[in-house]
Copies of this chain bind each other. A is one copy, B any other.
Amino acid sequence: MRLGVCYYPEHWQEAMWKDDAARMKALGIEQVRIAEFAWSRMEPSPGEYDWGWLDRAVDTLGNAGLKVVMCTPTATPPKWLIDRHPEILPVGADGRVRAFGSRRHYDFSSPEYYEASKRICEAVAQRYGQHSAVAYWQTDNEYGCHNTVVSYSPAAVKRFREWLKARYGSIGALNAAWGAVFWSMEYRSFDEIDAPIGTVTEAHPSHRLDYRRFASDEVQRYNRMQVDIIRAHSPGRPIAHNFMQLFTEFDHYKVAADLDVASWDSYPLGALEEQWYAPDVKARYLRTGHPDFASFNHDVYRGMSKLPFWVMEQQPGPVNWAQWNPAPLPGMVRLWSWEAFAHGAGCVSYFRWRQAPFAQEQMHAGLNTPDNRLDIGGGEAARVAEEIRTVLADAQADANAQVKTPVALVFDYEAKWLFEVHPQGADFHYPRFAVEYYSALRSLGFDVDIVSVHAPLDGYKLVVVPPLPVLPDDFAQRLAQSGAQVIVGPRTGSKTVDLQIPANLPPGPLASLLPVRVWRVESLRPNVTEPVAFGAQTGHARHWRDLIELSESSDAAQDGASEVRARFADGHPAYVKHGAVHYLASLFDDDATQALFARIASEAGLAPTPLGDAVRVSRRGGLTWVFNYGPGTHTIDAAIADRDFVIGTRAIEPQGVSAYRSAAA
């Protein structure tokens, strides 16, 4: 548990650096990320490097006792490089080449950029790989930000054809896998295949999905190149990348597998404004963010990080990039920081030390204002630093321990691409549904592991699977072996890996555990819901209905009868239980989902504790953390003794945090 900050010495007069470093240290900051956008200062002209200023900056920080996270500067290739190799620029789905003038103006498939990146990474890694102040590395910055994962350049199409050749072997195999005979879309060679854009009506969905997979793999390949270079020159120093909040355009599990630390950039207010939330929800959590959004991301990145995950950039005040940018309520910067630690973070690093007075992000707050006074967020960071000392000093807790929980939620990236390519209902938004399932679990007081569809499931008592169209061959077996109760969302098992309907219809390979046949589906427009009878309770189905036939003749069914636990008004099953598998044929309203999850959790031997909308609980290393996102004071159950509080008290003010020693750590 430690604090960090993002710092841009190149933005400020050198005369300020020493004081900055001293004030960071005094505030309780331990690590400082630098240089991720500094290419034009490292290499002002082709091949002419200027390391002097950066040497002095690193020394200044090191001399103040701070550890440096050194970055490769590849997110911002300078103008001279673009002018020499304009083919570096990515191409949009509209066919337009994107221009220099902001950032991330490069194509992952560009051979010219790949080589240029190797050169600058070599240069930086060589220069600072053994510097005593450099303790960590970051590759590039926010891969894919501003919709830059997928490019449609000639270079990308060339590499896509090779990717297809490697995947399918022969063009006949591709035609068969895609069902290209439909609409005479068959190809005679891989060289006939273009990018799936600009077509008269929607391009072939298998073609589109493969293009997304290819683009994701290109990110992985590019990052691995950087990792290899850094490891060669700076062995033993952990390498991170700063992922983004609920960003799903490439497979993060694959990229994280090459890193030591999965870190992410947390901007709860910007996320609330930009995500799918309804206007009233955006108004309710305007200055706090949604109680389950940052948490979801913490758990996503904890699940893929070899070392404890970090928040590489923590929102310290208002930001500049959402449509509207309100200010966090006093206390929220502290709350967000502790929430990250409670979810297992190793470091929370604020973005940025001081608000810059110029360029695109001049309205993005820092820990200090542009006139160099400590801002509210800075004060709260100082308080967190103080509290970290208290917590780490507590003899009865092990605050840095790993988070342990018997509840897992499966989160997948291909699922997002597949439903986007092939939605069948215009608002079928996979990440939203995954977050809604997560939110139901969190509102019941559970800690949640978020895991890949390939992750081991042993040891979990409850596994929740949001709509997951493509199932790995061994998934049903792993579910069964886990012994867990399994909640499965609609559309699960609905597609093969080639984006075809399974021969046995959905849920495809899951039918071995759940002997049903989804013989028909329907998507529902937003102003339509369907009543569902959950015993005496009525809930509502939204977005989607799987119409289910129970298959009495299958092997699995002979193990025991399927139980229809809820029905739609027209009699079709809405929720079927078979053995330990609970299949939901639709997406229900929040109350119904929560009630249903509570029941199944109890059946799994867990003890759900309904918390309402605004209070959340997390457990780590012998401490139980309680966070109050609501407008009123929350009072913790009197069963917790006053003396057990390490942070705060039983009465938690709005935006407040308390931590007490768990009964059984």
Contacts and interface: CB of A to CB of B under 8 A. Distances in A.
Interface of A: 8, 10-11, 37-41, 44-45, 73, 76-80, 83, 90, 94-105, 145-148, 178-188, 192, 194, 196-207, 273, 279-280, 282-283, 286, 317-318, 320, 323-327, 355-363, 365, 369-371, 373, 375-376, 422, 424-426, 498-505, 517, 519-525, 527-528, 545, 547
B325 A425 contact: yes
B184 A37 contact: yes
B359 A199 contact: no
Given A99-B194, A103-B201, 20 more contacts: A10-B181, A11-B181, A37-B183, A40-B186, A78-B186, A80-B192, A99-B198, A102-B185, A102-B200, A102-B204, A146-B201, A179-B358, A204-B359, A279-B527, A318-B522, A324-B426, A326-B524, A327-B520, A370-B501, A375-B520
A207 B101 contact: yes
Given A184-B41, A505-B370, A500 B325 contact: no
A455 to B, nearest CB: 29
A376 B320 CA distance: 52
Given A79-B185, A359-B180, A363-B424, A102 B523 contact: no
A77 B188 CA distance: 14
Contacts of A38: 184
A397 to B, nearest CB: 35
A98 B199 contact: yes
Contacts of A283: 525, 527-528
Nearest to A317: B520
Contact of A522 (B102, B192, B326, B370): B326
B371 A505 contact: yes
Closest 10 CB pairs of A and B: A179-B358, A182-B359, A40-B184, A99-B198, A357-B501, A76-B184, A323-B426, A101-B199, A146-B201, A102-B199
Contact of A520 (B80, B83, B365): B365
Contacts of A523: 324-326
A424 B45 CA distance: 34
- With most chain B CB atoms within 10 A of its CB, the pick from A41, A325, A355, A373 is A325
A76 B183 contact: yes
B359 A39 contact: no
B103 A503 contact: no
Given A184-B40, A186-B40, A547 B327 contact: yes
B525 A273 contact: yes
Nearest to A360: B202
Nearest to A319: B424
A532 B44 CA distance: 51
Contacts of A147: 200
B324 A183 contact: no
A356 B179 contact: yes
A261 B320 CA distance: 42
A46 B100 CA distance: 41
B520 A178 contact: no
Contacts of A370: 501, 503, 505
A522 B182 CA distance: 50
Given A99-B194, A103-B201, A320-B424, A182 B37 contact: yes
Nearest to A193: B79
A371 B508 CA distance: 12
A531 to B, nearest CB: 14
A309 to B, nearest CB: 26
A320 to B, nearest CB: 6
A253 B486 CA distance: 59
A179 B8 CA distance: 13
Given A37-B184, A41-B184, A182-B356, A371 B201 contact: no
A148 to B, nearest CB: 6
Contacts of A45: 188
A202 B321 CA distance: 10
20 contacts: A11-B179, A41-B184, A77-B184, A95-B96, A100-B185, A101-B207, A182-B361, A202-B360, A279-B527, A280-B527, A282-B525, A323-B425, A324-B523, A326-B522, A326-B528, A363-B422, A369-B520, A371-B517, A375-B519, A376-B520
